[in-house]
């Protein structure tokens, strides 16, 4: 009886934590008095059903009122919910972006939507570690049902309504939230319209941090993308392969459909996850594995166990990008911001290649602003006095070159499983944002629909230029040789 009572008392409340009522119809929305940003909550239960339908309506109403919505939809991970410290850190993130001069000068409406689920169902320290597989299953259930995808789609569609002067919708997920994000949108990524047209998702960008899912669905998604696209180095784009796959619009090489960022020193996904997966297979007497193809490896096959026991960011067959150091740097002289100045340095101008800045030591100094779930938007948040400016580059390292990046990130930028909210991690995220949404000569964001991909080269015209001035005898020899090949 005592044990049962203890366990019942250790269970986290089911929610909703931010329910709207007749007296408080916008209890699920918060933000500073000056309106520089808004943050809304949408909460889901273990079966993927919304806990308060009015929360989605409240979030959509905020977006509809905005002329230039910049929407960030975030799905949290394990050990978090709608009242954990993650809510404060997400709000700090959107506040940081809202304070930069670019946002104020162009009157950008920064909006954050925190999609919550029961990532924590026990509150006793130590016992909560036993919930890993239970909460992984719950995250998978939320992703499998219709509620979460419907909410994301409606939020994104409201953001790109015809009356908007500018719009961007960015999806974010962490840990099991990365699992929810990836599994929720992967089918939409591969979906085609009735005319065969692809790449018609209503959101513009999706980033998962330290995803705590196995690699099976990731391998399948990468394989399908490898069937549909090939990388064209001349056009710097992913273009459709020849075949009966419908109309495949080209994708700029710096605008992948999904990005997964993986901290190199994340022991939760790099160490604990494969051990747990191995024990689960042992208990379940699972010993037979299908041999499956490795994306981008020209038919090479390995045991599917390689993907079931490792997360995407820790799988040597799937990782295709890495952040590498490019030396110390000095801050640009034109910076105006006072907090995490590398964010501004990466955001104001288009990046050269994939080179970006960080400006602080990754020592957790930003955690002082979030000791719990309550955030103070009126507190001044200055850059550290001991700034350390560095340059980094996102480089392709091999494996499938498709519009799906899995990027290994050093600990100086993202440290450990929960390091996604560090100043340097946000600086990297901002660099990805600018790659995704370049600015024009006036420094104004380019709408996603207006981003241009160079046309495919005219091969006949190129041949004429290549062989201009060639003698008739040499031409005859060349044509004869090409015919033999």
pLDDT in tens, 41-67: 999 998 989 999 999 999 999 999 999
* pLDDT tens string 181-190: 888 888 778 7
pLDDT at 198 over 80: no
CA 440 to chain centre: 24
For 107, the token pair is 């009157």
The answer, yes or no, to whether the previous bond of 19 is cis (omega within 30 of 0) is no
Considering just the CA atoms, what is the radius of gyration of the chain in Å? 24
Query: Residue 3 burial (CB < 10 Å; 0-12/13-18/19+)?
Result: exposed
Q: Which of 55-59, 361-365, 471-475 has the lowest mean pLDDT?
A: 471-475
pLDDT for residue 78: 83
Question: What are the beta bridge partners of residue 228?
Answer: none
| Distance from C-alpha of 175 to C-alpha of 268, rounded to nearest angstrom | 9
User: Would strands 168-174 and 69-75 be described as parallel, antiparallel, or unpaired?
Assistant: parallel
pLDDT at 471 over 50: no
Which residues are CB-contacts of 259 (< 8 A; sequence separation ≥ 6)? 205, 206, 207, 208, 404, 405, 407, 432
Q: What is the largest CA-CA distance in the chain?
A: 98
Predicted confidence band of residue 10 (pLDDT cuts 50, 70, 90): low
Q: Which has the closest alpha carbon to 254: 180, 176, 350, 342?
A: 350
**For 313-338, what is the mean pLDDT?**
94
For 19, the token pair is 């329910």
**In whole angstroms, how far apart are CA 103 and each of 106, 203, 229?**
6, 20, 35
Q: Which of 83-92, 241-250, 365-374 has the lowest mean pLDDT?
A: 241-250
Is pLDDT larger for residue 103 or for residue 68?
A: 68
**For 276-287, what is the mean pLDDT?**
78
For 339, the token pair is 């907090």
pLDDT for residue 453: 56
Q: Which of 304-313, 403-412, 470-479 has the lowest mean pLDDT?
A: 470-479
**In whole angstroms, how far apart are CA 326 and each of 225, 355, 368, 390?**
31, 8, 30, 7
Q: How many residues does the chain have?
A: 485
Q: Which has the closest alpha carbon to 331: 412, 420, 427, 254?
A: 427
User: In terms of DSSP H, where are the helices of 192-235?
Assistant: 216-228
DSSP 226-237: HHHEEEETTTTE
**For 380-391, what is the mean pLDDT?**
85
**For 221-246, what is the mean pLDDT?**
86
* pLDDT tens string 128-166: 566 677 777 777 788 778 889 899 999 999 999 999 998
Query: What pTM, to 2 d.p., does this model score?
Result: 0.87
CA 182 to chain centre: 9
Cα(first)–Cα(last) distance of the chain, in Å?
Answer: 82
Predicted confidence band of residue 168 (pLDDT cuts 50, 70, 90): very high
Q: Which has the closest alpha carbon to 344: 307, 389, 312?
A: 389
Per the CB < 8 A criterion, the answer to whether 81 and 144 are in contact is no
């Amino acid at each position: 009886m005592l044990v049962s009572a203890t366990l019942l008392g250790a269970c986290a409340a089911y929610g909703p934590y931010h329910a709207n009522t007749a007296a408080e119809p916008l209890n699920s929305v918060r933000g500073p008095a000056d309106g520089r940003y808004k943050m809304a909550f949408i909460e889901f239960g273990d079966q993927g059903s919304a806990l308060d339908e009015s929360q989605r309506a409240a979030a959509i109403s905020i977006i509809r009122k905005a002329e230039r919505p910049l929407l960030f939809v975030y799905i949290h991970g394990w050990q978090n919910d709608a009242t954990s410290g993650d809510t404060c850190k997400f709000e700090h993130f959107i506040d940081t972006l809202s304070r930069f001069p670019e946002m104020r000068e162009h009157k950008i409406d920064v909006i954050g939507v925190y999609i919550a689920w029961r990532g924590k169902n026990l509150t006793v320290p130590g016992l909560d570690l036993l919930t890993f597989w239970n909460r992984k299953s719950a995250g998978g259930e939320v992703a499998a049902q219709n509620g979460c995808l419907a909410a994301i789609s409606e939020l994104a569609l409201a953001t790109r309504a015809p009356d908007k002067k500018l719009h961007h919708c960015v999806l974010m997920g962490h840990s099991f939230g990365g699992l929810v994000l990836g599994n929720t949108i992967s089918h939409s990524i591969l979906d085609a319209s009735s005319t065969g047209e692809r790449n018609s998702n209503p959101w513009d960008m999706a980033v998962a941090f330290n995803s705590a899912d196995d690699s099976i669905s990731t391998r399948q998604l990468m394989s399908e993308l490898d069937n549909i696209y090939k990388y064209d180095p001349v056009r710097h784009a992913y273009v459709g392969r020849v075949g009966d796959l419908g109309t495949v619009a080209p994708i700029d090489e710096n605008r992948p459909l999904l990005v997964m960022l993986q901290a190199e020193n994340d022991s939760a996904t790099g160490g604990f996850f494969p051990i747990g997966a191995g024990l689960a297979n042992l208990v379940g007497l699972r010993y037979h594995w299908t041999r499956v193809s490795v994306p981008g490896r020209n038919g090479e096959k390995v045991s599917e166990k390689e993907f079931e026991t490792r997360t995407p960011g820790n799988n040597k067959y799937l990782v295709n990008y890495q952040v590498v150091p490019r030396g110390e740097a000095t801050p640009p002289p034109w910076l105006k911001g006072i907090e995490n100045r590398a964010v501004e340095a990466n955001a104001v101008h288009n990046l050269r290649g994939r080179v970006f800045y960080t400006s602080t030591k990754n020592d957790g100094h930003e955690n002082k602003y979030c000791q719990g779930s309550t955030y103070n938007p009126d507190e001044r948040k200055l850059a550290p006095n001991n700034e350390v400016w560095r340059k980094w580059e996102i480089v392709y390292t091999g494996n499938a070159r498709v519009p799906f990046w899995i990027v290994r990130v050093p600990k100086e930028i993202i440290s450990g499983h929960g390091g996604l909210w560090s100043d340097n991690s946000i600086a990297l995220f901002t660099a990805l944002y600018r790659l995704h949404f370049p600015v024009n000569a006036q420094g104004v964001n380019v709408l996603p629909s207006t981003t241009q991909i160079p046309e495919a080269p005219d091969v006949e015209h190129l041949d004429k230029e290549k062989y201009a001035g060639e003698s008739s005898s040499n031409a005859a020899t060349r044509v004869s040789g090409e015919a033999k090949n």
